[in-house]
């Protein structure tokens, strides 16, 4: 009887919490997390002011089931773009929250280079929405790794900062250091598709102590930006070599088709 009474009170408690949260937001409106153009503006709980939000090109269906490239027309469930039809990819499916352009770039670079780790929770919620069809199947979530020397200089791995809260949202195991970058590499920026592939060739390995957690599992790999796919390809290849059953990928942003062809 006591359990039934507690269950009956649950909707009331949720309503009270919602009312309390609304009252707090009315008295102390959430501030925009994007402050490049001056003082933060009052926003909705999403974390971006209306102007910044409206300029970001979020990716919704229809899109390629392989690489997440948006389609102009709906080609049906499981449709693949020409690149995915012709290329053998190591990862299974990729989802991106938005296009990487002049409006999303600054926000991502703040997380990556300006110590704006407070943006991680916002991005994790974006990722959870974008990966809504693959997230429920994830049996482990892990970030693209950073080499220890670069990590020492930057102090944090931006991919890990968003992968951690995403794992909490999904209630999936978080595997923070299952994947290792065995040697330092130059930045991928400015390199051609072939140059990016050479730069990360053979760089990623699975730490021996994590192999049992990897084998036979469907994993979700997290990164900030997808350009040519060389980095996530290398990671997925290493994970599958260690026995992963499948590797899906989710990123904050992906470049458009023409930009990815340029590198």
What digits encode the pLDDT tens for the residues 21-31? 433 333 334 44
What domains are there in the chain, each with its CATH number?
56-261 (3.40.50.2020)
Residue 157's SS3 state is coil
Mean pLDDT for the stretch of residues 214-223: 97
pLDDT of 90 reads: 92
According to the model, what pLDDT value does residue 187 have? Answer: 54
Q: What is the mean pLDDT of residues 227-233?
A: 89
Q: Is the bond into 62 cis (omega within 30 degrees of 0)?
A: yes
CB 263 within 8 A of CB 106: no
Residues 6+ apart with CB under 8 A from 90: 233, 234, 236, 237, 240, 247
Residue 112: the pLDDT is 85
Q: What is the pLDDT of residues 143-194, one digit of tens each?
A: 999 877 676 667 899 999 999 999 999 999 999 989 998 765 555 455 445 5
Mean of the per-residue pLDDT values of the chain: 78
pLDDT of residue 150: 72
pLDDT for residue 153: 66
Q: Is the pLDDT of residue 238 over 90?
A: yes
Q: What pTM does this model have?
A: 0.76
**If we measure between CA atoms, which residue out of 186, 224, 249, 189 comes closest to residue 109?**
224
Confidence band, pLDDT 50/70/90 cuts, at residue 54? confident
The answer on pLDDT for 83 being more than 80 is yes
Residue 256: pLDDT above 90?
no
> How does DSSP classify residue 32?
P
pLDDT (mean) for 51-69 = 91
């Amino acid at each position: 009887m006591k359990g039934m009474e507690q269950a009956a009170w649950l909707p009331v408690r949720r309503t009270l919490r919602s009312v309390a949260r609304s009252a707090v937001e009315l008295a102390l409106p959430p501030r925009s997390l994007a402050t490049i153009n001056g003082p933060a503006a009052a926003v909705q709980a999403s974390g971006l002011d209306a102007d910044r939000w409206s300029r970001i090109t979020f990716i919704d269906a229809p899109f390629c089931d392989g690489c997440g490239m948006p389609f102009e027309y709906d080609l049906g469930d499981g449709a693949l773009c020409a690149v995915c039809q012709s290329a053998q990819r190591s990862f299974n499916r990729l989802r991106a929250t938005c296009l990487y352009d002049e409006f999303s770039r600054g926000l991502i670079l703040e997380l990556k280079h300006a110590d704006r780790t407070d943006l991680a929770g916002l991005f994790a919620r974006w990722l959870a929405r974008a990966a809504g069809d693959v997230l429920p199947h994830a049996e482990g979530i892990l970030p693209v790794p950073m080499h220890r020397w670069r990590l020492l200089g930057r102090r944090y791995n931006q991919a890990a900062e968003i992968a951690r809260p995403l794992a909490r949202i999904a209630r999936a195991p978080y595997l923070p250091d299952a994947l290792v970058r065995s040697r330092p590499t130059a930045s991928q920026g400015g390199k051609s598709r072939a140059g990016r592939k050479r730069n990360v060739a053979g760089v990623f390995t699975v730490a021996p102590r994590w192999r049992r957690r990897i084998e036979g599992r469907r994993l979700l790999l997290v990164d900030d930006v997808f350009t040519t796919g060389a980095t996530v390809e290398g990671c997925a290849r290493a994970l599958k070599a260690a026995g992963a059953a499948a590797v899906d990928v989710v990123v904050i942003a992906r470049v458009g088709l023409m930009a990815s062809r340029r590198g």
